[in-house]
């Protein structure tokens, strides 16, 4: 290397050193850029400055248990649990009435409550009154949880939507000189929530209803749950477990809508009249029973037709649709046939409805009273 090139090379190094020192003095340097970049890392990434490992990144994952705990502390979960517990406790007490009601509705045995009760005890013993109760318990827990939980969720959502809609400008359509304004004020959140509760719970739990009826009506052919599932599935596949789903939905819609609407309306009216914020347990029992009585009376002919369709195969004849089932009942038994078993139904529905609401409100108050509920 020539002297001139050596001089130029030394001058260049000197210039770079001066520039580096100048940047360091001004607080802006190479290591400062690295530090700034590391400062911008997410909090989940930690740098471990260890002598053995000079540069190490650690990834801190979120704790899923916290999300799970928060989920189970929500209002919705508390309402679902309350519904499940209320349903289980109610069915454990009222299983004999459910057995008698089912037998009378589908036309098996005696046509009165006392005669049906005696027949069951004579033929099957006292345990016969709880025939099918195992599947009934398995059915009612998810059914009541889904039904009551859905009712509460949809009611809150509809009420919130109405409040937001009323505060904002209503959408409208102009057709020439006519202006159509859309509003949600005429829709009852309770009625919509009741209809949604019945539909959702029916779609989710209808196979359990089919199994329960088969075990109750024909225990000799379906001695236990596994045999019932096997026979029904072999006879028609998955579709057999949803036998009568359309008439069930048709019957459930008016019942569920009127049931929840009557309960909420009577509860609100009574509280306003008595100038109180809530009902006590006895009042809940009575109001719930009256709501169940009213809804059952309105929808009972559809219930008769639904039961005929669901268990018609057991008797060797099955009407093709709900209208045909109703016509068949009227032709064979007259208009009174549409309300055959209505007394037994009310005897079962009224205490069941009252006890369910009493247990449900009690469980909900207990769970929501916890300060950890979100």
Q: Is residue 279 part of a domain?
A: yes
Cα radius of gyration rounded to whole Å, the chain = 34
Q: Is residue 269 part of a domain?
A: yes
Query: Which residues constitute the domain of residue 310?
Result: 245-340
pLDDT of 230 strictly over 50: yes
pLDDT of 60 strictly over 90: no
pLDDT at 27: 44
C-beta separation of 83 from 147 below 8 A:
yes
Q: Is residue 324 part of a domain?
A: yes
Range of lowest pLDDT (16-30, 81-95, 262-276, 287-301): 16-30
List C-alpha distances in Å: 104 to 32, 112, 117, 254, 333: 87, 7, 10, 22, 14
Token pair for residue 206? 């209808």
pLDDT of 300 strictly over 60: yes
pLDDT confidence band for 372 (50 / 70 / 90): low
> In 10 A of CB 124, how many CB atoms?
15
pLDDT of 264 strictly over 90: yes
Q: Per-residue pLDDT tens for 315-337?
A: 556 666 778 878 888 888 888 88
- What is the percent of the chain where pLDDT is above 70? 73
Tell me what the pLDDT averaged over the chain comes to. 77
Beta strand extents in 6-115 (DSSP E only): 45-47, 57-59
C-beta separation of 338 from 304 below 8 A:
yes
Nearest alpha carbon to residue 307 among 233, 243, 215: 243
Average pLDDT over residues 183-205: 89
Number of domains making up the chain: 1
Average pLDDT over residues 158-181: 75
Token pair for residue 335? 């208009």
Q: Is residue 218 part of a domain?
A: no
> In 10 A of CB 216, how many CB atoms?
27
Q: Is residue 320 part of a domain?
A: yes
Q: Is residue 272 part of a domain?
A: yes
Q: Is residue 315 part of a domain?
A: yes
Q: Is residue 312 part of a domain?
A: yes
Token pair for residue 241? 């477990």
Q: How many angstroms separate the CA atoms of 282 and 361, rounded?
A: 12
Q: Which residue has the higher pLDDT, 197 or 169?
A: 197
pLDDT at 371: 52
């Amino acid at each position: 290397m020539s002297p001139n090139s050596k001089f130029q090379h030394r001058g260049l190094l000197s210039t770079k050193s001066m520039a580096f020192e100048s940047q360091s003095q001004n607080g802006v340097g190479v290591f400062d850029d690295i530090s700034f970049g590391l400062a911008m890392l997410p909090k989940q990434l930690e740098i471990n400055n260890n002598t053995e490992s000079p540069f190490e990144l650690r990834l801190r994952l979120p704790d899923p248990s916290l999300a799970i705990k928060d989920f189970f502390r929500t209002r919705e979960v508390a309402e679902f649990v309350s519904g499940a517990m209320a349903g289980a406790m109610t069915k454990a007490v009222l299983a004999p009435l459910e057995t008698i009601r089912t037998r009378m509705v589908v036309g098996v045995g005696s046509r009165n409550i006392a005669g049906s009760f005696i027949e069951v005890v004579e033929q099957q013993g006292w345990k016969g009154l709880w025939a099918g109760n195992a599947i009934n318990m398995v059915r009612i827990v998810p059914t009541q949880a889904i039904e009551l939980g859905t009712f509460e969720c949809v009611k809150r959502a509809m009420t919130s939507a109405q409040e937001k809609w009323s505060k904002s400008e209503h959408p409208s359509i102009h057709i020439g000189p006519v202006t159509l304004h859309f509003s949600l004020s005429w829709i009852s959140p309770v009625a919509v929530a009741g209809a949604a509760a019945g539909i959702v719970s029916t779609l989710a739990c209808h196979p359990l209803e089919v199994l329960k009826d088969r075990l109750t009506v024909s225990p000799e052919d379906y001695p236990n749950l596994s045999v019932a599932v096997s026979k029904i599935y072999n006879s028609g596949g998955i579709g057999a477990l949803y036998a009568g789903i359309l008439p069930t939905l048709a019957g459930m819609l008016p019942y569920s809508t009127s049931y929840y609407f009557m309960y909420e309306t009577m509860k609100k009216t009574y509280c306003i009249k008595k100038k109180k914020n809530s009902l006590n347990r006895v009042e809940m029992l009575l109001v719930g029973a009256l709501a169940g009585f009213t809804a059952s009376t309105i929808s009972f002919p559809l219930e008769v037709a639904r039961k005929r369709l669901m268990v018609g195969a057991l008797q060797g004849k099955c009407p093709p649709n709900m209208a045909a089932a109703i016509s068949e009942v009227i032709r064979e038994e007259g208009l009174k046939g549409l309300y055959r078993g209505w007394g037994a139904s009310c005897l079962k529905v009224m205490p069941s409805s009252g006890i369910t609401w009493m247990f449900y409100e009690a469980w909900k108050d207990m769970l929501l009273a916890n300060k950890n509920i979100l």
